[in-house]
Chains A and B, each alone.
Chain A
Amino acid sequence: MARQPEGPPPPPTVQKLRLRYAKRGRLRFASHRDLARTLERALRRAQVPMAFSAGFSPHPKISYLGAAPTGAASEAEYVEIGLSVRCDPEAVRAGLDASLPDEVAILECVEAGEGTGSLADRIDTSVWRVELPGVTLAELRPAVEEFLSRDVVTVAKRTKNGLKDIDARASVASASAGEEAGCAILHMVVRQLTPAVRPDDVLAALAAVADLHPPLPPRAVREAQGRLDDTGTVADPLGPDRAARIPREHAAI
C-alpha cells in the first residue's frame, strides 16, 4: 500500500488576493520560473497563511498570469494567491514587498471580488514602452509609420521547435514613436494572441520593413496589462475587484 499523508487535509482557501507586481532594474533578467521561486519563498518569509493543495508535496495556491519575457522589465505582472486565513490585503502587500529583493515590488493587492469572474478574462493586451538607446526619433518615426501601413509583416520567431514565421503586425493595436533625453521610445499596445508577439518580434519587424537596427540592445518595459476596449484604452484588470469591495466596506461601518 502506498503511504498516505496522515492527519486532516489542508485547510481550504478562504480568501483570494490578486496582486500586481513589478520587476525592475537588474531583475528584468529574471525568468518567469526565477520569479515564481522567489515569490514563493517571499510568501514563506512574510508568513502569509497560504492555502495548500493536498498530498505529499503540497503546493501553495498560486496562479500566475502570462509573464513578461526574460530581459523585459514590467510594472504590471499579475498573480492570484489563495489564503487559508483571511488577511488585510494591504498588510499582505507590505509584508510581501519587504520580503522580496529590492527590484521586485508588490504594487497592489486587492481581494478578489465575489462574482467578478476570473482575472485571466480581464487581460488580453499589453502596453509596452521600449527604449532604444542609440536610435533617434527621426529614425524611429518613419519606421513605425511604415510598419503600421502594412497589413502583414512576417518575422522569424525562435520557438522550442526552431524558427517559425509569424505575423508581427496583426497583434499590434497601436504604436507610436516618442523621445526622451535623446533616446527614441517605441510605445505600443499589443494584443496577447497566439502565437504571442513580443517586443523583440516588433523590433525584428521594424528591421524588416524599414531597416532599423538599434546599435544597442533595446530595453522593454511592460507598463500595463488589461482588456482593450473599442476606444483603444486598456482597462485596469483589478478595477472590478475594487468596485466589488466598496459596498461591503460601507456595509461594515
Chain B
Amino acid sequence: MTGETLYPRLEPLLAQIQKPIQYVGGELNSQVKPWEDAAVHWALMYPDAYEVGLPNQGLMILYEVLNERPDALAERTYAVWPDLAALMREHGVPQFTVDGHRSVADFDLLGVSFATELGYTNLLEALDLAGVPIHAVDRDGSHPVVVAGGHAAFNPEPVADFVDCAVLGDGEQVVGDITDVVKAWKAQGRPGGRMELLARLARVEGVYVPRFYAVSYGPDGAIAGVQRTRDDVPATVGKRTVMDLDEWPYPKTPIVPLAESVHERMSVEIFRGCTRGCRFCQAGMITRPVRERTITGIGSMVEQGLKATGYEEVGLLSLSSADHSEIGQLAKQLADRYEGTNTSLSLPSTRVDAFNVTLANELSRNGRRSGLTFAPEGGSERIRRVINKTVSKEDLVRTVTTAYANGWRQVKLYFMCGLPTETDEDVLEIAELAVEVIRAGREASGSKDIRCTVSIGGFVPKPHTPFQWASQASAETIDHRLRVLREAINADRRIGRSIGLRYHDGKPGVIEGLLSRGDRRVGRVIERVWREGGKFDGWSEHFSYDRWTAAAAEELAPFGVDLDWYTTRERTEHEILPWDHLDSGLDKEWLWEDWQEALSEEEVADCRWTPCYDCGVCPTMGTEIQIGPTGRSLLPLTVV
C-alpha cells in the first residue's frame, strides 16, 4: 500500500539527531490529506535544509494552490542533514515528506524548486535516499516524474540527466495543467507508459522535457546544435507568466514553523517582475513584465495572513519594492492600520534613493530603527553605469546620511565585485564611500554610535541576462579585490572601526558559475561530486572547492573543455548558448545590444515610465505591464 506513513520507523531515529523538530511536520497551516482522496500526488521539495526551505514563497504558494484542488494532494520535503541521512540509510527509511511522512517514491510527481544552482547535489541525495534512480532514463512508470522549477530552471541543462521536466516561469497555473495531464493519463490506464506521459507533458506550455532534445558539440567544445528528437514537442519552450496577481492571493495561510527559520516573518509579494534593467540581475530579466498587486489586494493579504499566522512582522516583498506605484500610500496606510499593535512592517533591501528612507521611516514609525539596507551593487559610478544601476556618489552619501540623521544606527550596503570591466579602483571606491558615509553620518546624527556594514560577494554571470556572454572573474581576482578593499577600509582606524566588512570568498561563486552557465556535460561533474560525498553546497562547512575542481577537471577533460571554459571565458555573439532553446521572452539580439551598451557604459531607462525599448518579452509572451495607481484606499480594520 502506498502513501503509508513512515513515522513509526522514523521516530526512533529522531531521538538520535540534531534539531529533530525540522522533520516532524505538524506546523500551523500545514495539511495532510487522505492519500486515496487525491488522483494526483505531488511531493514538493526545497533542496536545502528545512530552516532555509520552509519560508520559500514559491513552494508555499504551490502547496496551497495544489491542495485547494480536491483531486490533488501536495506535501513538502526538504534536504536531510547528513546525521539523519546516515541513520535513514542504515535503517532503510527512505526520503519522506514532513507532512504525512510518506515516502517520496510513492508520489506521482516530485517538484523541486531551485532558487540557486547550489542545490543540485541535494537533489541527487534526495533521489537516492528516496530509492528513485538518479538518472531520468533509468526511471520507469512506478517512479515519480521529477520536475525542476525556480529561477535556476531557466537553464536546467546541467541537471538535464537527472530531471524529467523543467518548468519555466510562474508556477501557479502550470502545476494545474501538469496535474490535469497526469490525472488523465492515469485515468486512461497509463497508456504508453512513462514515455507517453512525458511526451504529453512536453506539450504543456512552459514545460521542457530535456530528453526530447539532443545536443551536439562542435570541435571547439561549443554547442553545434540542439535538435528535437520528436516533432510533437515545441522547438523552443517559452516561460509561463501569471497575469493579474490579485487573482492569485497566495499564500493565504502561510505555514508557520515551530523550528527557527531564516525568515521569522510573513511575506506578501507586492509585485512580480522588474524592469529597472539591472544587467546582472537574472530575476529581473526572467520575470518581466512588472505585474503589481493592487493596494487593496495587498491590504487584504496582510490582514488575512497575520490572522492566519500570528507573525509580528510582515515583509513587503518584490524585486524592488519602493517601485510599487502606490508604495507611499501603502506604507502610510498599513502603518496607520497596525499602529499600536506591535506588528512591524519591512521592505527588503532597497535601491539607494532618498524616498526609501522616507518609506522606512514610515514603516518604523514607532519601532526600533536598527538597520537599513541599500544595494548600490557597484563600487564606482562608472561600474554602476555598466550594470545599469545608476546612482551618483553624492546621492549615495546623501541618502545614507539622511538615514543616520533619521535615527537609523546601522546601514548595510550590498556590493558585488568581479563585475564586467571592473578594476581594483572600482572596488576601492567602496572604501572611500564607506568612510565618507561614516564621516557625514557622524556629523548629521551628532553621534559616533553609527555603523556601516559593507557586504560584498563575487558576481556570477547568469543565463538570460546581458552578462550571459561575460567572462566571470576568477576566484583569485575576487579574493585579491576583497583583500585590497579590506586593507583600504582598515587604513584609517578611527573611521574603520565603524565600518564592518562581510564578504564571501571567490571559490563558491566559481562553482555557481559553472552550474549556472553549464551545459549537459556538467551533469557528470555534479554526479561525481555527489558520489564523493558532496551535498549542502550552499553551506561553507559542507562545500568543498577542491572536490568540485578535481571532479570538473576529470569529468570535463574527455570533452576538451574545463572549468575556465565555462566560467572565465567570454562568449562570442553567435555562440549557441545551452539555454537558447528556452525562451524567457527576452530577445537575444536585444540582450546582445544591452551587453554592448554595458561595455560602453550606457544606461537604459525603465519601461514603466519611459517608452517600451523592445526587450521582446511582452509581444513574445502576450503579456503587458500591469501597474497602478488604482487610487484605492485601505479600509481601517476593527481592532478587537
Give residues in A with beta carbon < 8 Å to B. Answer: 1-3, 5-7, 25-27, 29-31, 33-35, 37-38, 40-45, 47, 52, 56-58, 70-71, 99-103, 216-217
B369 touches A3 (CB 8 A): yes
- Shortest B509–chain A CB gap in Å is 34
B248 within 8 A of A: no
Which residues of A have CB within 8 Å of B191? none
B554 within 8 A of A: no
In the assembled complex, 20 residue pairs joining A and B whose CB atoms fall closer than 8 Å, in A order, are A1-B446, A26-B25, A26-B26, A29-B20, A29-B23, A30-B258, A30-B259, A31-B21, A37-B264, A38-B28, A41-B310, A41-B311, A42-B310, A43-B310, A44-B310, A44-B311, A45-B308, A45-B309, A71-B20, A101-B258
Bound CA–CA A44/B11 (angstroms) = 31
A71 touches B15 (CB 8 A): yes
- Shortest A39–chain B CB gap in Å is 10
Q: B258 is contacted by which of A1, A25, A34, A43 (Cβ under 8 Å)?
A: A34
B27 touches A101 (CB 8 A): yes
- B306-319, CB under 8 A of A: which get 1 and which 0? 11111110000000
Bound CA–CA A119/B15 (angstroms) = 31
Ranked nearest first, the 10 interchain pairs of A and B with the lowest CB-CB distance are A41-B310, A217-B15, A56-B368, A45-B310, A26-B24, A44-B310, A29-B20, A34-B258, A3-B407, A29-B21
Bound CA–CA A37/B257 (angstroms) = 9
Which residues of B have CB within 8 Å of A44? 306, 310-312
Q: B28 is contacted by which of A35, A57, A101, A216 (Cβ under 8 Å)?
A: A101
Q: A33 is contacted by which of B260, B307, B311, B366 (Cβ under 8 Å)?
A: B260
B256 touches A103 (CB 8 A): no
Q: Among residues 232 to 271 in chain B, which have CB atoms less than 8 Å away from a CB atom of chain A?
A: 256, 258-260, 264
B342 touches A52 (CB 8 A): yes
B173 within 8 A of A: no
Which residues of B have CB within 8 Å of A101? 26-28, 258
Which residues of B have CB within 8 Å of A38? 28, 256, 258
Bound CA–CA A2/B27 (angstroms) = 40
B21 touches A217 (CB 8 A): no
Given known A-B contacts A26-B26, A57-B368, A58-B342, A37 and B307 have beta carbons under 8 A apart: no
Residue from A26, A35, A99 with most neighbouring chain B CB atoms (10 Å): A26
Which residues of A have CB within 8 Å of B12? 216-217
Which residues of B have CB within 8 Å of A35? 258
Which residues of A have CB within 8 Å of B543? none
In this complex, what residue of A is CB-closest to B408? Answer: A3
- Shortest A214–chain B CB gap in Å is 10
- Shortest A224–chain B CB gap in Å is 23
Bound CA–CA A110/B387 (angstroms) = 62
- Shortest B258–chain A CB gap in Å is 4
In this complex, what residue of A is CB-closest to B15? Answer: A217
B258 touches A27 (CB 8 A): yes
Which residues of A have CB within 8 Å of B23? 29
- Shortest B23–chain A CB gap in Å is 8
B82 within 8 A of A: no
- Shortest B640–chain A CB gap in Å is 5
B366 touches A6 (CB 8 A): yes
Residue from B24, B258, B340 with most neighbouring chain A CB atoms (10 Å): B258
Bound CA–CA A131/B306 (angstroms) = 40
- Give the number of residues in B that approach A within 8 Å (Cβ atoms): 35
B7 within 8 A of A: yes
Which residues of A have CB within 8 Å of B264? 37
Which residues of B have CB within 8 Å of A52? 342
In this complex, what residue of B is CB-closest to A34? Answer: B258
In this complex, what residue of B is CB-closest to A215? Answer: B12
Bound CA–CA A206/B164 (angstroms) = 53
Bound CA–CA A70/B640 (angstroms) = 35
Bound CA–CA A100/B28 (angstroms) = 7
Bound CA–CA A238/B640 (angstroms) = 29
A70 touches B258 (CB 8 A): no
Given known A-B contacts A30-B21, A45-B307, A56-B368, A103 and B26 have beta carbons under 8 A apart: yes
Bound CA–CA A40/B260 (angstroms) = 14
Which residues of A have CB within 8 Å of B300? none
Which residues of B have CB within 8 Å of A7? 340, 366
B14 within 8 A of A: yes
B16 within 8 A of A: yes
Which residues of B have CB within 8 Å of A3? 369, 407
A34 touches B368 (CB 8 A): no
B14 touches A29 (CB 8 A): yes
Which residues of A have CB within 8 Å of B310? 40-45, 99
- Shortest B360–chain A CB gap in Å is 13
Bound CA–CA A41/B306 (angstroms) = 10
Which residues of B have CB within 8 Å of A71? 14-15, 20
A56 touches B367 (CB 8 A): yes
A37 touches B258 (CB 8 A): yes
Which residues of A have CB within 8 Å of B20? 29, 70-71
Given known A-B contacts A35-B258, A101-B28, A41 and B367 have beta carbons under 8 A apart: no
Bound CA–CA A152/B258 (angstroms) = 39
In this complex, what residue of B is CB-closest to A31? Answer: B21
Given known A-B contacts A26-B7, A38-B258, A47 and B640 have beta carbons under 8 A apart: yes
Given known A-B contacts A25-B26, A57-B368, A34 and B309 have beta carbons under 8 A apart: no
Q: Among residues 380 to 414 in chain B, which have CB atoms less than 8 Å away from a CB atom of chain A?
A: 407
Bound CA–CA A43/B307 (angstroms) = 11
Bound CA–CA A25/B24 (angstroms) = 10
Bound CA–CA A53/B308 (angstroms) = 25
Which residues of A have CB within 8 Å of B306? 44
Q: Given contact pairs A25-B26, A26-B26, A34-B260, enumerate 8 new A-B contacts (beta carbons under 8 Å).
A: A26-B7, A29-B20, A41-B256, A44-B310, A45-B310, A58-B342, A100-B28, A101-B26
Which residues of A have CB within 8 Å of B26? 25-27, 101-103
- Shortest B367–chain A CB gap in Å is 6
Which residues of B have CB within 8 Å of A6? 366
Bound CA–CA A38/B264 (angstroms) = 11
Which residues of B have CB within 8 Å of A34? 21, 258-260
In this complex, what residue of B is CB-closest to A71? Answer: B15
Which residues of B have CB within 8 Å of A100? 28
Bound CA–CA A44/B141 (angstroms) = 48
- Shortest B370–chain A CB gap in Å is 9
Which residues of B have CB within 8 Å of A40? 310
Bound CA–CA A7/B20 (angstroms) = 44
- B1-35, CB under 8 A of A: which get 1 and which 0? 00000010001101110001101111110000000
- Shortest A131–chain B CB gap in Å is 12
Residue from B23, B312, B342, B369 with most neighbouring chain A CB atoms (10 Å): B342
Bound CA–CA A237/B20 (angstroms) = 31
Bound CA–CA A99/B14 (angstroms) = 26
Which residues of A have CB within 8 Å of B342? 52, 58
Bound CA–CA A71/B12 (angstroms) = 11
- Shortest B30–chain A CB gap in Å is 8
In this complex, what residue of A is CB-closest to B14? Answer: A29
- Shortest B153–chain A CB gap in Å is 33
Bound CA–CA A1/B24 (angstroms) = 48
- Shortest A186–chain B CB gap in Å is 16
Bound CA–CA A166/B318 (angstroms) = 54
